Amino acid sequence: MSKNNYIYFGVFAACTSVYIGAVLTGTYMTVTDESVLCFVADGMTGYGKDAWALSQGVINASVILIYTKLKGILKTHMVSTNDDTKKIFKSLYLIMLFYICGWFVTIVLLIALRITTKE
């Protein structure tokens, strides 16, 4: 592996660690006595939960925007006519579709549970 790969993975690991640390710290510092559903997406309370939800929304929107912009750039430069590139983009869009559908189902279930739960 080249030096650039080590730098890339180091920066990636550092950014991931900082993000996880910030979410866990925010969650710990803003814990309330509010009851939560036993549901992964609803396992936090207080401002930490709001910050986490906002960051997830920003990340999801960014992924969609970046892939859409990248596809536009590749079409402009005529790189997307290559069969391998088309296969890669089909894979990326399939991953995005499952990712978005997963979040959609999570949100729908969370809303349904909040409406039907009498607490």
Average pLDDT over residues 54-79: 78
What's the rounded mean pLDDT across residues 90-118? 77
- Complete DSSP assignment for 16-80: HHHHHHHHHHHHHHT--S----S-GGG---HHHHHHHHHHHHHHHHHHHHHHHHHHHHHHHTT-T
Residue appearing with tokens 């790189």: 79
State the Cα–Cα distance between residues 19 and 17, nearest whole angstrom: 5
11-38: per-residue pLDDT in tens?
999 998 998 888 778 777 877 776 666 6
Position 45 scores a pLDDT of: 65
Of residues 85 and 46, the one with the higher pLDDT is 85
Please tell me which residue, 3 or 47, carries the higher pLDDT value: 3
Share of the chain above pLDDT 90, in %: 7
pLDDT of residue 17: 92
- CA separation, residue 97 to residues 110, 112, 118 (Å): 20, 22, 33
Domain ranges of the chain: 45-117
Q: Which residues, in sequence order, are CB contacts of 15 under 8 Å at separation 6+?
A: none
Other CB atoms within a 10 A radius of the CB of residue 15 amount to 10
pLDDT at 15: 92
**Residue 75 pLDDT > 90:** no
Task: Give percent of the chain with pLDDT exceeding 70.
Answer: 79
